[in-house]
């Protein structure tokens, strides 16, 4: 995880469970980006920062650490901006739950994808969008890009139980 993110999480008093979750999503984002290689032009730094901070707003809404809710999204963006994080990076906290917007960037889609697949969740519409981007970048049929992406996401999703156990091994509240 980027050291700048570790410092941010310490500064806001992020609970251990949140840190573990963000680490798991970050690590999955690394796997996805490594798999993509140079096939798709993407701001790798932004994706990794976004994956490592997308849920930082849960420090303000701790009930969303173990339950549903989206109040952490705008709160996370505001929190990151208040800490001096540039808008291009802070935005991931606000938009990671809204991948189906027409103006979503490839970086936003990849952060959302990592946030889904880390726990084995698959989202067909999201994966279709990414396959279309991949197909356009590699000049291959969309179905072929989708199949390659599906194989990689299946491989990553197979490790979900270990990542979920890792996250669950950390307390929800700070000591």
Question: Does residue 173 fall inside a structural domain?
Answer: no
- CA 32 to CA 55: how far, in whole Å? 19
DSSP state of 67: S
- Positive or negative torsion for Cα 110, 69, 93, 175: negative
Q: Is the model's pLDDT at 175 over the cut of 70?
A: no
- CA 65 to CA 62: how far, in whole Å? 5
Q: What is the 3-state secondary structure (H, E, C) of 150-165?
A: HHHHHHHHCCHHHHHH
Q: Is the model's pLDDT at 174 over the cut of 80?
A: no
Question: Does residue 65 fall inside a structural domain?
Answer: yes
Cβ proximity of 125 and 112 under 8 Å: no
Question: Does residue 86 fall inside a structural domain?
Answer: yes
What's the pLDDT at 61?
A: 87
Question: Does residue 20 fall inside a structural domain?
Answer: yes
CATH number at residue 97: 1.10.3210
Q: Is the model's pLDDT at 149 over the cut of 70?
A: yes
Give the residue numbers spanning the domain of 60.
3-168
Question: Does residue 146 fall inside a structural domain?
Answer: yes
- CA 33 to CA 111: how far, in whole Å? 10
What's the pLDDT at 75?
A: 93
Question: Does residue 102 fall inside a structural domain?
Answer: yes
- Predicted confidence (pLDDT) per residue in 117-141, tens digit: 999 999 999 999 999 999 999 999 9
What's the pLDDT at 79?
A: 95
Question: Does residue 77 fall inside a structural domain?
Answer: yes
- Predicted confidence (pLDDT) per residue in 5-58, tens digit: 999 999 999 999 999 999 999 999 999 999 999 999 999 999 999 999 999 999
What domain count does the chain have? 1
CA-CA-CA-CA dihedral for 36, 38, 41, 43, to nearest 10: 80
Question: Does residue 175 fall inside a structural domain?
Answer: no
What's the pLDDT at 69?
A: 85
């Amino acid at each position: 995880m980027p050291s700048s993110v570790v410092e941010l999480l310490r500064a806001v008093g992020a609970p251990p469970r949140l840190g573990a979750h963000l680490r798991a999503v970050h690590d999955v984002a690394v796997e996805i980006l490594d798999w993509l290689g140079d096939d798709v032009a993407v701001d790798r730094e932004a994706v990794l920062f976004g994956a490592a901070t997308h849920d930082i707003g849960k420090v303000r809404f701790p009930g969303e650490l173990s339950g549903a809710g989206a109040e952490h999204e705008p709160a996370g963006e505001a929190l990151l901006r208040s800490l001096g994080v540039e808008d291009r990076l802070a935005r991931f906290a606000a938009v990671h739950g809204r991948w189906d917007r027409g103006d979503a960037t490839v970086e936003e889609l990849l952060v959302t994808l990592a946030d889904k697949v880390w726990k084995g969740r698959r989202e067909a519409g999201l994966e279709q969008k990414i396959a279309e981007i991949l197909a356009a970048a590699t000049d291959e049929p969309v179905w072929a890009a989708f199949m390659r992406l599906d194989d990689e996401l299946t491989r990553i999703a197979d490790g979900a139980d270990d990542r979920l156990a890792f996250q669950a091994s950390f307390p929800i509240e700070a000591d």
